[in-house]
Copies of this chain bind each other. A is one copy, B any other.
Amino acid sequence: MSAHHVIATYVIETSLPLQHAAEVLAGEQSTGTFVRVQRESDDVRARFAAQVESLQEIPLTGASPLPGAVGDPSGRRRAVLRLRFPLDNFGPSLPNLLAAVAGNLFEIKELAAVRLIDLDLPPAFGERYQGPRFGVAGTRRLMGATDGAMIGTIIKPSIGLTPAELAEVVGELADAGIDFIKDDELQGNGPSSPLSERVAAVMPVLHRHADRTGRMPMYAFNITDDIDRLEANHDLVVAAGGTCVMACVNLVGLAGLHFLSTHTAVPIHGHRTMFGAIGRSEQVGIGFRAWQKIARLSGADHLHTNGISNKFYETDDEVLDSIAAVREPLLGIAPTVPVLSSGQWGGLAHATYRAVGTTDLLVLAGGGIHGHPDGAAAGVSSMRDAWASAARGESVHDAVERSDALRRATEVFGPVRA
């Protein structure tokens, strides 16, 4: 593709002729309006107008039209629209790009659905935005996990533990052989367990463990907060020897993530909370494939994708497409680690591995580890045994036969996914 253009791909619905609706969208997002104003010369249009690159009709889904859409709803048609924007309209600035490709267009009344599903960006964005500073390789190095799926967990209960109780839980998980532990996204910097006290409680436990075993699990402290507190929160974690910070991407903003990434000394664990607000509707918003490109360019070393058989709304196909999207090369930046979570346990390893073909994944199990009938150490073993078996090309039934921990897990979390 051209080095001087961005291609944005949308799903749209309209009761107007498709080509006309596409041109309304292109006009609104570039040279302005169908009514020509003074000084809007042919030259201005030629240089700055967004162009319809392709428009392909697809079947309606049965979802109802967006509020305020004009025209007869029964005459709606749905299409995939690719629009071509001159890079010069915004330059390689992600916030200014979004004004063009994801700005006022969601409010256009000629559209009964309008959803940004993909972005093809020219190299200039890869030159300005460094992407992950650590990515897969840096994460593996820091957690001492040279191969295999990286196994992690989330502190539960989400909130309410005192720092002393948290330290106890972390000690148990470290002893259980976990690679990675994270704060819940609900655990920010509240008065009952402030970040500074969590760091002070957790890091000595991890250091003692590392002194004893030579390996320190990575703990992702949730440092999400106002922008002007991110650096201090980050510095507090790093000063104590922490090896990861977690940021809720949509709460600090994609721009806030990029700000953090230009200062970070450790990997950024990118949580996608609030993504459903822009991503869940079939009719409006931004799809994960488009969103994750901005998040990766903005520096997410880890990025939540959900996992198969999860407890949220996404289908396995959607989740697998998200994991594949995060693993696709992007403008030469380092690879981001997909983070699989929600309802994960060992019995899902083989089905997941067969679909994604890699163990460069961070697989988080909450109940699948904390809730194992023989305790957290058996929970970690069940996950590790399952993923190693999957990577060896065995069947999940082989794995259950060989691993006591996995077999016991099936008694609580089963059946396995073949």
Chain A residues at the B interface, C-beta cutoff of 8 Å: 29-33, 35, 37-40, 44-45, 47-48, 62-64, 66-69, 88-91, 93-96, 98-100, 102-109, 156-161, 165, 169, 184-186, 188-192, 224-228, 248, 250-256, 258-259, 262, 273-278, 280-286, 311-315, 366-367, 370-371
Contacts of A63 in B (CB 8 A): 64
On whether A161 and B277 interact (CB within 8 A), knowing A93-B188, A186-B89, A248-B99, the answer reads: no
A32, A90, A276: which has the most chain B beta carbons within 10 Å? A276
User: Whole-angstrom distance between the alpha carbons of A165 and B41 in the complex?
Assistant: 12
Taking the nearest CB of chain B, how far is it from the CB of A53, in angstroms?
Answer: 19
User: Whole-angstrom distance between the alpha carbons of A111 and B275 in the complex?
Assistant: 16
User: Whole-angstrom distance between the alpha carbons of A100 and B226 in the complex?
Assistant: 15
Measured CB to CB, the nearest residue on chain B to A62 is B64
- What are 30 A-B pairs with beta-carbon distances under 8 A? A29-B186, A30-B158, A31-B159, A32-B158, A33-B367, A40-B160, A62-B64, A68-B313, A68-B314, A90-B190, A91-B189, A93-B189, A93-B226, A95-B226, A95-B248, A96-B189, A96-B224, A98-B251, A99-B274, A104-B185, A104-B276, A106-B275, A106-B276, A107-B275, A228-B259, A251-B255, A253-B256, A256-B256, A277-B278, A281-B284
Measured CB to CB, the nearest residue on chain B to A283 is B281
Taking the nearest CB of chain B, how far is it from the CB of A114, in angstroms?
Answer: 8
User: Whole-angstrom distance between the alpha carbons of A157 and B28 in the complex?
Assistant: 11
Let me know if B281 and A314 touch, CB within 8 A.
Answer: no
On whether A284 and B273 interact (CB within 8 A), knowing A95-B188, A160-B40, the answer reads: no
User: Whole-angstrom distance between the alpha carbons of A351 and B285 in the complex?
Assistant: 32
User: Whole-angstrom distance between the alpha carbons of A94 and B224 in the complex?
Assistant: 10
Cross-interface CB contact of A91 among B67, B188, B248, B258, cutoff 8 Å: B188
On whether A276 and B280 interact (CB within 8 A), knowing A99-B224, A258-B227, the answer reads: no
| A-B CB proximity, top 10 nearest | A253-B253, A68-B313, A106-B276, A96-B188, A44-B160, A227-B259, A103-B273, A107-B276, A107-B312, A95-B251
Taking the nearest CB of chain B, how far is it from the CB of A5, in angstroms?
Answer: 13
On whether A224 and B89 interact (CB within 8 A), knowing A32-B157, A107-B312, the answer reads: no
Taking the nearest CB of chain B, how far is it from the CB of A386, in angstroms?
Answer: 21
Let me know if B93 and A160 touch, CB within 8 A.
Answer: no
Taking the nearest CB of chain B, how far is it from the CB of A217, in angstroms?
Answer: 19
